[in-house]
Structure 1
Amino acid sequence: MASESTKLLIGHKEKHFTAGDVVRDVIMGVSDGLTVPFALAAGLSGAQASSSLILTAGLAEVAAGSISMGLGGYLAAKSEAEHYQRELKREQDEIINVPDTEAAEIGEILSQYGLERHEYAPVVNSLRKNPQAWLEFMMRFELGLEKPEPRRALESALTIAIAYVVGGLVPLLPYVFIPKAQKAMYTSIGVTLAALLFFGYVKGRFTGHRPLLSAFQTAFIGALASAAAYAIAKFVQAP
């Protein structure tokens, strides 16, 4: 029976997507990178700034934004790891000090999956004999916590920062090649909206949402932000 199960598992290939944290960081970095410098460039264009000034301000914002976003991702991941360690220590103490209560909690968790007492009792007894497995079971099924990767904080910071820079350079590129800010702005709008549509579509494919809807939602948010910045700049400049 065991060998038959092993054969089935070997022949079965799962196709689940497992890089959720990395994709989340890329989405966060690129979406903000595309939107914030885009809105800044549009606002400065509305204020009649020159292409060189817009480019300088945009690059400064990309640098500051990537550092800020990367640091935010680092701190968030560190906080998550610290929270996991606190809960792990608390759960370890409870298993040592109130083992019967913790064992009863195992039964309660398994009963939620439709198992009767006579069905889950052997599982409870087996876990009690293996403290490490017991601890991992409680962390995952009682608290819903997964053990963070040791390098998660640094990887998250770098991923978000690099993604922000990549996204942020897209709306600024036209200002490199087109000296007149107004013309550069129109080109930037076209390039950035195309990038937002593409990014939104890819994001939808990875996250399981409808790609076309995701594409239009992402582009709409970016367009709204830039339009608001442009309108505010025009309003402030109005006599």
Structure 2
Amino acid sequence: MAVRSAPDLENGSSNGVMEKLIEPAHTEKHFTSGEIVRDIIIGVSDGLTVPFALAAGLSGANAPSSIVLTAGLAEVAAGAISMGLGGFLAAKSEADHYYRELKREQEEIINVPETEAAEVAEILSEYGLEPEEYDPVVSALRRKPQAWLDFMMKFELGLEKPDPKRALQSAVTIAASYIAGGLVPLIPYMFIPKASEAVVTSVGVTLLALLFFGYVKGRFTGNKPFRSALETTLIGAIASAAAFGMARAVQSS
């Protein structure tokens, strides 16, 4: 039986190490568009359900398709503006809150540095670090005020610096998503003059859209796609059924 010499063993070990070193670097893939997806979900989900419920309710009152379509388009326009403005104000409020806390934290670092340094030590100790391990980190941060400020904003307050374009982006995304969702249940009324017939097609089209949207939403949010699809569709169906039933009840009274 052949026995490998020491140099061969060394070369074999060396080659193994080299093979590991030249392996492709690990690439981490993280989903970083959570805020945009959230805005799309808000816009589309409301866009599909609210105009759908309105159209179903008017159809239940035997309104002609032209009236249903006019009212539906008016609601889509008003809803898109309202929700877009709401998204803008929400993002603006988050940004204002961040900068208020940033200014306060900056003043505390200047006026009560010992207290702030103790807070850094407390935060690091919560991660299992011992004093001899986190003391150098605390000292290093005290020598770098900006890094210290960033650390406190993120780890003490849990706040991330907002994108300056976030408010406008949120408004546009929510409004556009609302319009896209809101037009779906109204399309049948553009081609079918009789509302009582158009509403049947609208129900089918909207339920399919809700199923598809719920499935996609589940994939992006990490939930079970089929369960998300069913839940989203159920909510839309309940909303439209309630509106249709109320319109029928008012008409018959």
* Secondary structure, counterpart of 1:11 in structure 2: coil
Deviation per residue, 1:125-166 (Å, 9 max, x gap): 111111000000000000000000000000000000000000
**Alignment partner of 1:14 is 2:28:** yes
**Residue from 62, 84, 94 that aligns with 2:76:** 62
| Unaligned runs of at least 5 residues, structure 1 | 1-6
Cα distance, 1:12 vs structure 2: 2.1
In structure 2, what is the equivalent of residue 24 of structure 1?
38
Cα distance, 1:13 vs structure 2: 1.1
Which amino acid is the alignment partner of residue 25 of structure 2? Answer: G
* Matched positions, count: 232
| Unaligned runs of at least 5 residues, structure 2 | 1-20
TM-score by length of structure 2 reads 0.90
Which amino acid is the alignment partner of residue 183 of structure 1? Answer: E
In structure 1, what is the equivalent of residue 209 of structure 2?
195
Which amino acid is the alignment partner of residue 236 of structure 2? Answer: G
Which amino acid is the alignment partner of residue 117 of structure 1? Answer: P
Which of the two has higher C-alpha Rg?
2
1:39-58 matches, within 5 Å, as 39-58=53-72
* Secondary structure, counterpart of 2:94 in structure 1: helix
**Alignment partner of 1:144 is 2:158:** yes
* Secondary structure, counterpart of 2:63 in structure 1: coil
In structure 2, what is the equivalent of residue 159 of structure 1?
173
TM-score by length of structure 1 reads 0.96
**Residue from 74, 95, 112 that aligns with 1:98:** 112
Which amino acid is the alignment partner of residue 39 of structure 1? Answer: A
- In the alignment, the residues of structure 2 paired with residue 12 and residue 131 of structure 1 have an alpha-carbon distance, to the nearest angstrom, of 33
- In the alignment, the residues of structure 1 paired with residue 87 and residue 143 of structure 2 have an alpha-carbon distance, to the nearest angstrom, of 39
- In the alignment, the residues of structure 1 paired with residue 211 and residue 64 of structure 2 have an alpha-carbon distance, to the nearest angstrom, of 28
> What's the C-alpha RMSD, in Å, of the aligned pairs?
1.1
- In the alignment, the residues of structure 2 paired with residue 13 and residue 29 of structure 1 have an alpha-carbon distance, to the nearest angstrom, of 33
- In the alignment, the residues of structure 1 paired with residue 25 and residue 139 of structure 2 have an alpha-carbon distance, to the nearest angstrom, of 32
**Alignment partner of 1:175 is 2:189:** yes
Q: What is the identity percentage for the equivalent residue pairs of Structure 1 and Structure 2? A: 72
Deviation per residue, 1:168-208 (Å, 9 max, x gap): 00000000011110110000000000000000000000000
Q: Which runs of 4+ in 1 moved over 6 A?
A: none
In structure 2, what is the equivalent of residue 89 of structure 1?
103
* Secondary structure, counterpart of 2:163 in structure 1: coil
